[in-house]
Amino acid sequence: MALMTAARSVSRNWARAFYQAYPATVGLCYPSSMHANRPAMVLTDRAEAAGVMPARPRFHRALGDPALLSVLKNIARGIGYALR
């Protein structure tokens, strides 16, 4: 838990070390400090080459796309944040 609440530079250093030490790893599952320690996932750039990502996603939009605003607001509200 200390890693999740430490300075971002500490987390980045750990991420770089994992990336170098475990070349077959395409992502990590970790407890989210922003969401009551529920599981969160982060994928590296290796995920696509490893076939983890779908070749043709059913849904693909940029986070800044106005069509996503209501979806993102609902998600934010659900975890106790406000999105403006």
Query: Does an H or E element contain 19, and which?
Result: helix 8-21
Task: For the chain, give every domain's residue range.
Answer: 2-53, 60-84
* pLDDT classification of 63: cutoffs 50, 70, 90: confident
CA distance 39 to 37: 6
25 close to 44: Cβ distance less than 8 angstroms: yes
Q: What is the pLDDT of residue 21?
A: 96
CA distance 37 to 24: 26
Instruction: Please give the mean pLDDT across all residues of the chain.
Output: 85
pLDDT tens per residue, range 22-52: 999 898 888 887 778 888 888 888 998 898 8
